[in-house]
């Protein structure tokens, strides 16, 4: 079919599908099922659990660690190899648990399928399993049904469909069999129904045009199946760090081992020195500490209602500079609410309780307001728990006013009615001798000849009619959906409602912004993060909501996006605040355009339509309460309270976590640089100082509890006053390089001086000298730890976990000096005088570390 079904007359669509209005025959169904398959969302070729687990070890840093373990085994240091392997495997298992859940996105799409469908086949109407539908089937739809497949409508009777999960439109859409123009956006194709959406009112008949993966939902499933999950800058940097360190280890080993061998060192001793350098060069705990620090952040964020599904998203939050957010249910409350009333020149704001207009203070405003709300409640087919969102909003307004809706319905039972229809655009009900009417203002007013005022009913003059029309336009300019209310008394039956009505007033309703959103947007904007609304809703509503929240009013519509090529769209996106009438494809194009501009984008959403963009975004944020399972599974972060303000808190937490990562990366690498320098320079002098087991012990003490406790450091007060972190800027920036080089040089000089002093001219390393160097180095690392925190303006005593970790590590170090562990580490117990000498070393290094810190602080971070 070259033309699209929504553009063609219904009979042509049926003909092109080789179908009939009385349905297909059994033989036709069988042939089509063989050709098209089941009406189901096909499982994508996702990764198996084995593939996911193996992928955790596809990292250069992990490969280097495993190589170091292999060298340790070859050199006879099985303990070193075992410890390294344990760290690597633990990190892999932790990452596997996180990534495995990410592969469940497609599974949740299957939950959208309607379990049954009502079809015409062989001239009979019968229920069938919805998976058995084929193109050309004739489907019967009724209120409460889930649409089982994409279809072109053939007949409708007051049919309305809730398409919010697909298009983002918060109000049910009226449907009609009349064709629509070519190029009409998905949200405005009144002649179509789509798989997974819900019929809220009326009934209809449609011919199936697409099943399974050929539906709109199926297209989303296909896109999810082919979309690669994004990697974060930190992941890439750690891999690059691993490659750099690996190359450095190879070069050092290649230089040192032959050099020592030529100087007369035994081959095995030269090999041991090479292994020591490998262990010293590699921060074995870095992957695990990064992962566990992110996990600590996840726990804190969960307590703040942000559930993190993928650990790297925590770090990525710190670099986000644009948030693309859906409107319905994300920025707004996700339900229609009556916010304003008008009764003959008196405007009542239901949110504030204020009344404005010529008749303020006059008699009868409250009575007319009550009558207006009573008409909305009694001329109504819904309940507060179930029904049409517009009618539920009218019931909620009456309830807020204190009207006993159930009581009034019981005391004023409906005796006759005129049902609502999309053609008629009004409905009426009769209650004994009074009739109530509600509907579109331009239609209802045509049936009225009087208007209710403070002085009672008065003729509906041209001047009064103009006031009504002016108010309707004003409400519309504020993106309110407007309904008019009228009555007639006395009446005998519904036929009397066609004319002679008395106009009572207007209700203006909207899906209102969440109370906390405006402040949250202001805070994220202050933090250098742009906010853009991406919605399927109409331009007027989207612009009004965006303007009220401080997002901006520059709008680009979906049909214009359709006409723009990728390069032009990339040039336009930065200046646009609101993208209206968008489709799922538009959202992905908008995201890609921003990313091509160099933006790091967080995409929020709750519907099926958001899933591809959520998965492609740098950070995908789904709503936990209103969100579909599809959106939640495709996201990186789920907001458990659906509160946009939680995003701002998550960004703050993400930036604080990255601060902590910076601190322990600087801390660990400065230790490793000093270790390499000490071992390398000592080996050139003929001394094998700090053998592999001691180096690994140092790394475990420093990479372990103290480094991990840095993850519990509080977020600094100024973190949201900074701009987003540049993702292209290495975590190992100028300040870090200055810190590593400066403190590494200080440590190397002082520790080597201590080594030569304690050797006292001995030709080989003594156990005493080794113990002094070993212990002094550990103590210096703990001093440096607090200097690194000071650089990031973290108060010294703000983290009791860190103090406990340092105390525990010192206790462990004492254990290898004063217990039988000494024979495994080659140490001897130290005397009081020895500790005094170590104290002098610390006293010399502390001011030198601080001096380095002062210089580093002056660098442009």
Where are the domains positioned within the chain?
A: 5-36+114-147+150-210, 60-90+231-307+650-857, 321-333+514-648, 337-510
Q: How confident is the model at residue 254 (pLDDT cuts 50, 70, 90)?
A: confident
Query: Which positions ≥6 away from 613 have C-beta within 8 Å?
Result: 324, 534, 584, 587, 588, 590, 591, 603, 605, 620
pLDDT of residue 133 exceeding 60, the answer is: yes
Taking Cα atoms as reference points, which of 601, 552, 606 lies closest to residue 580? 552
Q: Phi/psi at 161 (nearest 5 deg)?
A: -130, 135
60-90+231-307+650-857: what fold? Answer: Calcium-transporting ATPase, transmembrane domain (1.20.1110)
**Cβ proximity of 198 and 169 under 8 Å:** no
Architecture of domain 321-333+514-648: 3-Layer(aba) Sandwich (3.40)
Higher pLDDT, 91 or 736: 736
Distance of CA 306 to the CA centre of its chain: 9
Q: Is 721 exposed, middle or buried (0-12, 13-18, 19+ CB in 10 A)?
A: exposed
Q: Tell me what the pLDDT averaged over the chain comes to.
A: 84
Q: How far apart are CA 663 and CA 352, in angstroms?
A: 49
**pLDDT at residue number 746:** 96
DSSP lists the bridge partners of residue 430 as 416, 435
When comparing pLDDT for 8 and 84, which is higher? 8
Bond preceding residue 106 cis, omega within 30 of 0:
no
Q: Quick check: helix, strand or coil at residue 717?
A: coil
CATH topology (fold) of 5-36+114-147+150-210: 2.70.150
Between these two residues, 284 and 747, which has the higher pLDDT value?
747
For β-strands 448-453 and 416-418, DSSP reports them as: unpaired
pLDDT band of residue 692 (cuts 50, 70, 90) is low
pLDDT value at 545 more than 50: yes
Question: For position 658, what pLDDT does the model report?
Answer: 85
Residues with Cβ < 8 Å from 112, sequence gap 6 or more?
A: 41, 146, 165, 195, 196, 217, 608, 628, 630
Q: How confident is the model at residue 224 (pLDDT cuts 50, 70, 90)?
A: low
Residue 97 has pLDDT above 80, yes or no: no
For residue 91, is pLDDT > 80?
no
Candidates 338, 357, 339; CA nearest to 347 is: 357
Inter-residue contact 357 to 346 (CB < 8 Å): yes
User: Which of the four pLDDT bands, split at 50, 70 and 90, describes residue 543?
Assistant: very high
The mean pLDDT value for 528-556 works out to 92
The CATH number of the domain covering residues in 337-510: 3.40.1110.10
Would you give the DSSP letter of residue 24?
Answer: B
Q: Are 521 and 651 in contact (CB under 8 A)?
A: no
pLDDT of residue 94: 57
Q: Does pLDDT of 356 surpass 50?
A: yes
- Specify which residues 308 forms β-bridges with: 637
**Residue of higher predicted confidence among 572 and 857:** 572
Share of the chain above pLDDT 70, in %: 85
Winning range, highest mean pLDDT, from 236-250, 283-297, 583-597, 632-646 = 583-597
pLDDT tens for 462-515 read 999 999 999 999 998 888 999 999 999 999 999 999 899 999 999 999 988 888
Band the pLDDT of 229: cuts 50, 70, 90: very low
Residues of the chain with pLDDT > 90: what percent? 43
State yes or no: pLDDT of 87 exceeds 70.
no
More confident residue, 561 or 284: 561
Local confidence band at 363 (pLDDT 50, 70, 90 cut-offs)? very low
Q: Greater confidence, 850 or 725?
A: 850
Residue 110 reports pLDDT greater than 70: no
The whole-number average pLDDT for the span 56-65 is: 66
Q: What is the dihedral of CA 681, 686, 689, 691, to 10 degrees?
A: 110
Task: Give residue 418's pLDDT.
Answer: 93
Where are the extended beta strands (E) located within 560-663?
A: 578-580, 601-605, 619-623, 637-639
pLDDT at residue number 93? 74
R_g over Cα of the chain: 35
> What DSSP assignment string belongs to 779-809?
HHHHHHHHHHHHHTT--TTS-HHHHHHHHHH
Q: Which of 137, 145, 158, 326 is catalytic?
A: 326
pLDDT of residue 109: 37
Confidence class for position 114, pLDDT limits 50, 70, 90? very low
For the ranges 579-583, 606-610, 656-660, 707-711, the lowest mean pLDDT is seen at 606-610
The 10s digit of each residue's pLDDT in 622-664 is 888 777 666 777 788 988 888 788 888 899 988 888 888 888 8
Helix (H) or strand (E) holding 303: helix 286-303
Q: 219-223: long-range contacts (C-beta < 8 A, 24 or more apart)?
A: 219/584, 220/109, 220/584, 220/608, 220/609, 220/611, 220/612, 220/630, 221/41, 221/42, 221/44, 221/106, 221/109, 222/44, 223/584, 223/588, 223/612
Which of the residue ranges 106-120, 647-661, 775-789 has the most confident prediction, judged by mean pLDDT?
775-789
Asked whether the predicted pLDDT for residue 342 surpasses 60, the reply is: yes
Q: How far apart are CA 58 and CA 287, in angstroms?
A: 12
How far apart CA 588 and CA 569 sit, in angstroms, is 12
pLDDT at position 298 over 50: yes
Give the distance between the most distant pair of CA atoms in the chain. Answer: 119
| Whether the predicted pLDDT of 188 surpasses 80 | yes
pLDDT of residue 628: 67
Q: What is the pTM of this model?
A: 0.68
Run of H or E including 812: helix 800-818
173-182, 621-630, 716-725: least confident range: 621-630
Residue 223 pLDDT > 70: no
Residue 365 binned pLDDT confidence (cut-offs 50, 70, 90): low
**Tokens standing for residue 766:** 């003594």
Angle at 753 between CA 748 and CA 756, to 5 degrees: 125
Sign of CA dihedral 787, 790, 792, 795: positive
pLDDT bracket for residue 111 (50, 70, 90): very low
The pair of structure tokens assigned to 777 is 């180095």
**Tens digits of residue pLDDT in 695-721:** 778 877 876 778 778 878 888 888 888
* pLDDT for res 811: 94
* Average of per-residue pLDDT across 88-100: 63
- Residue 41 is predicted with a pLDDT of 72
Q: Residue 376 pLDDT > 90, yes or no?
A: yes
Question: How many CA atoms are closer than 13 Å to the CA of 381, on its beta-carbon side?
Answer: 17
**Could you tell me which residues are beta bridge partners of residue 530?**
322
Q: Do domains 60-90+231-307+650-857 and 337-510 have the same CATH topology?
A: no
Question: In the prediction, which pLDDT does 288 show?
Answer: 62
CA 297 to CA 303: how far, in whole Å? 10
**Average pLDDT rounded to a whole number, residues 751-779:** 92
Quick one: tokens of 272?
A: 């041991």
CA distance 299 to 306: 9
Average of per-residue pLDDT across 249-267? 73
Is residue 326 part of the annotated active site? The answer reads yes
Residue 79's CB is within 10 A of a number of other CB atoms, namely 13
Q: What is the pLDDT of residue 359?
A: 42
Angstrom distance (rounded) from CA 670 to CA 483: 69
């Amino acid at each position: 079919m070259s033309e699209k079904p929504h553009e063609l007359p219904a009979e042509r669509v049926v003909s092109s599908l080789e179908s009939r209005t009385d349905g297909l025959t059994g033989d036709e169904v069988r042939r089509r099922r063989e050709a098209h398959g089941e009406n189901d969302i096909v499982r994508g070729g996702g990764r198996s659990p084995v593939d996911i687990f193996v992928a955790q070890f596809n990292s250069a840093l992990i490969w280097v660690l495993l190589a170091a373990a292999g060298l340790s085994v070859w050199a006879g240091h099985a303990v070193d190899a075992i410890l390294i392997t344990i760290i690597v495997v633990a990190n892999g298992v932790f990452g596997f648990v996180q990534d495995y859940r990410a592969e469940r996105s497609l599974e949740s799409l299957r939950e959208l399928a309607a379990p049954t469908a009502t079809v015409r086949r062989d001239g009979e109407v019968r229920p069938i399993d919805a998976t058995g539908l084929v193109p050309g089937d004739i489907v019967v739809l009724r209120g409460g049904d889930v649409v089982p497949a994409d279809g072109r409508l053939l007949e409708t009777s007051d049919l309305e469909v809730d398409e919010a999960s697909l298009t983002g439109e918060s109000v049910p859409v009226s449907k009609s069999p009349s064709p629509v123009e070519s190029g009409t956006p998905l949200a405005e194709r009144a002649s179509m129904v789509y798989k997974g959406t819900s019929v809220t009112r009326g009934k209809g008949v449609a011919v199936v045009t697409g099943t399974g993966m050929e539906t709109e939902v199926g297209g989303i499933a296909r896109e999810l199946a082919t979309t690669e999950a994004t990697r974060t800058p930190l992941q890439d940097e750690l891999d690059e760090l691993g490659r750099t360190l690996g190359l450095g280890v190879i070069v050092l080993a290649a230089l040192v081992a032959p050099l020592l061998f030529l100087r007369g060192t035994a081959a095995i001793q030269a090999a041991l020195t090479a292994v020591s350098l490998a262990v010293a060069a590699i921060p074995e705990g870095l992957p695990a500490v990064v992962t566990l620090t992110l996990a600590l952040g996840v726990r804190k964020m969960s307590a703040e209602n942000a559930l993190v599904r993928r650990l790297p998203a925590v770090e990525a939050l710190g670099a986000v500079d644009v948030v693309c957010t859906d409107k319905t249910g994300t920025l707004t409350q996700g339900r229609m609410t009556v916010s304003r009333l008008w009764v003959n020149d008196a405007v009542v704001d239901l949110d504030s309780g204020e009344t404005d207009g010529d008749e303020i203070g006059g008699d009868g405003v409250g009575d007319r307001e009550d009558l207006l709300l009573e008409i909305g409640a009694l001329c109504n087919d819904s309940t507060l728990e179930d029904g049409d969102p517009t009618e539920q909003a009218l019931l909620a307004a009456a309830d807020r006013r204190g009207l006993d809706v159930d009581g009034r319905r019981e005391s004023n039972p409906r005796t006759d009615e005129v049902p609502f229809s999309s053609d008629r655009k009004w409905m009426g009900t009769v209650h004994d001798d009074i009739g109530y009417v509600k509907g579109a203002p331009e239609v209802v007013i045509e049936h009225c000849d009087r208007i209710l005022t403070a002085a009672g009913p008065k003729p509906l003059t041209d001047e009064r009619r103009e006031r009504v029309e002016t108010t309707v336009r004003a409400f519309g300019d504020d993106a309110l959906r407007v309904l008019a209310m009228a009555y007639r008394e006395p009446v005998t039956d519904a036929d009397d409602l066609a004319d002679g009505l008395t106009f009572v007033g207007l209700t203006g309703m909207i899906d209102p912004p969440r109370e906390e959103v405006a402040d949250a947007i202001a805070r994220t904007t202050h933090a250098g993060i742009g906010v853009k609304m991406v919605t399927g809703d109409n331009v007027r509503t989207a612009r009004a909501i965006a303007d009220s929240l401080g997002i901006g009013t520059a709008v680009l519509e979906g049909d214009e996006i359709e006409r723009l090529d990728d390069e032009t769209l990339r040039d336009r996106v930065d200046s646009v605040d609101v993208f209206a009438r968008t489709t799922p494809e538009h959202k992905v194009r908008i995201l890609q355009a921003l990313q091509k501009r160099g933006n790091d984008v967080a995409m929020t959403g709750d519907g099926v339509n958001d899933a591809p963009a959520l998965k492609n975004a740098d950070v995908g944020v789904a709503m936990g309460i209103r969100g579909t399972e599809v959106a939640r599974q495709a996201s990186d972060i789920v907001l458990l309270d659906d509160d946009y303000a939680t995003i701002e808190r998550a960004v703050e937490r993400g930036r604080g976590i990255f601060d902590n990562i910076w601190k322990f990366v600087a801390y660990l690498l400065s230790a490793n640089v000093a270790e390499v320098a000490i071992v390398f320079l000592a080996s050139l002098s003929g001394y094998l100082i700090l053998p592999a087991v001691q180096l690994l012990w140092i790394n475990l003490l420093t990479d372990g509890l103290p480094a991990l406790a840095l993850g519990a450091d509080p977020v600094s007060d100024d973190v949201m006053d900074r701009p987003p972190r540049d993702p292209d800027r290495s975590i190992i920036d100028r300040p870090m390089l200055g810190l590593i080089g400066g403190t590494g040089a200080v440590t190397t000089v002082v520790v080597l001086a201590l080594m030569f002093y304690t050797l006292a001219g001995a030709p080989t390393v003594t156990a005493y000298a080794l113990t002094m160097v070993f212990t002094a180095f550990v103590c210096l690392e703990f001093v440096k730890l607090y200097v690194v925190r000071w650089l990031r303006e973290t108060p010294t005593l703000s983290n009791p976990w860190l103090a406990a970790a340092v105390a525990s590590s010192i206790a462990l170090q004492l254990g290898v000096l004063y217990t039988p562990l000494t024979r495994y580490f080659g140490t001897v117990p130290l005397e009081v005088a020895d500790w005094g000498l170590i104290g002098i070393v610390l006293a010399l290094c502390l001011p030198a570390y601080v001096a380095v810190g002062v210089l580093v602080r002056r660098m442009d971070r």
